[in-house]
Chain A
């Protein structure tokens, strides 16, 4: 069974603070992704990676950094959190190929006050 886990599941941060969201997958997938979900916008890609050590900008990378230290782990970093980054964040993993299914984690609800 595919498994993607995220931590923390809920986070309250202050404006200007640093936030790190972590993601772990046991699928041995090369590709990993970070999305945010907001009503009226669907799922938007922030950063993605196609292997350990690689990170690529997605469609909305501003204000976010990513780190892929290993095949299993992919982190999303908000160096200076802002209220506009309040959202639900999903991590996903997927195999090679355009037809590959993406497996999503349970999500992290982030509130920036």
Chain B
């Protein structure tokens, strides 16, 4: 079946440093990959998405490139801010009835001053 793997459960870093969150996936279909962000006591919301191989997509200072050859969609930011402290989910979808999302277990990012 389809699956998404996020290897880091918790990432703690200092404001201003770069961050990379890993995401790999497995599917036999043509994939759409997403990053959702969830701040404390809030609902998840879309951060960015892609279905184009080897094309960088960016939003709010975050960026990711879908690499179908390695089944990866890692999330990066050059300089994290305190407001980036949140739970980040990688998710996978494809064209189907219902367009279900398969989520990874999430990576919690804690940014310290």
Binding site for B on A (CB under 8 A): 31, 33, 40-45, 48-50, 56, 58, 90, 94, 96-107
Write out the residue numbers on chain A whose beta carbons fall within 8 Å of the beta carbon of B100: 33, 45, 48, 58
B20 interfacial by beta-carbon distance below 8 Å: no
Secondary structure type dominating chain B contacts: loop
B63 interfacial by beta-carbon distance below 8 Å: no
- What range describes how many residues of B lie at the interface? 20 to 34
Q: Is the CB of A31 within 8 A of B98?
A: yes
Q: Is the CB of A31 within 8 A of B99?
A: yes
Write out the residue numbers on chain B whose beta carbons fall within 8 Å of the beta carbon of A33: 100-101
Write out the residue numbers on chain B whose beta carbons fall within 8 Å of the beta carbon of A40: 105
Interchain CB contact (< 8 A) of B105 among A42, A103, A105, A107? A42
Q: How far is the CB of A18 from chain B (nearest CB, A)?
A: 26
